[in-house]
Amino acid sequence: MSTSTNRSGSWTFLTNHARVLVEIARNPRARVRDIAAGIGITERAVQGIVSDLQQADYVTIDRVGRRNEYSLNPEARFRYPTEADLPVRLLIDVFTQHDLASPEPEKVTE
């Protein structure tokens, strides 16, 4: 196998922080367990990431009954200097709009 083939599974375009943020945008009432299962990381990792996102003011957590409900701050800016002038809403919109897109219904011909 070539080196590029071996390394192809070792990196990704989105960090786990971005994936958790997108999952919360998709379902603000999602449980940590559901987020973890959805993106393939541990519940403990999700808890740490949610804490990071909360401390950085990307996410607010409200207790509703026995569950948490998350609110996003879509105008918070990306952290990396080259994207720091852009809101995270752009990332969220890319993935949540993708979820809303549905294929055109098939036309019935007689």
Of 69, 78, 56, residue with least CA distance to 29: 69
CB atoms within 10 A of CB 74: 15
CB atoms within 10 A of CB 48: 15
Reported for 28-34, long-range contacts at CB under 8 A and 24+ positions apart, including other chains, are 28/69, 28/70, 28/71, 28/72, 29/64, 29/67, 29/68, 29/69, 29/70, 30/70, 31/67, 31/68
Quick one: pLDDT at residue 3? 52
The pLDDT averaged over each successive group of 10 residues in the chain (110 residues) is 60 93 96 96 98 98 94 96 96 84 56
Alpha-helical segments (H) within the chain? 3-7, 16-26, 32-39, 43-55, 89-100
Confirm if 107 and 59 have CB atoms less than 8 A apart: no
**CA angle (82 as vertex; 79, 83 as ends), nearest 5:** 55
Quick one: pLDDT at residue 10? 77
Quick one: pLDDT at residue 37? 97
Q: Which amino acid is at 39?
A: I
Quick one: pLDDT at residue 103? 58
Quick one: pLDDT at residue 8? 65
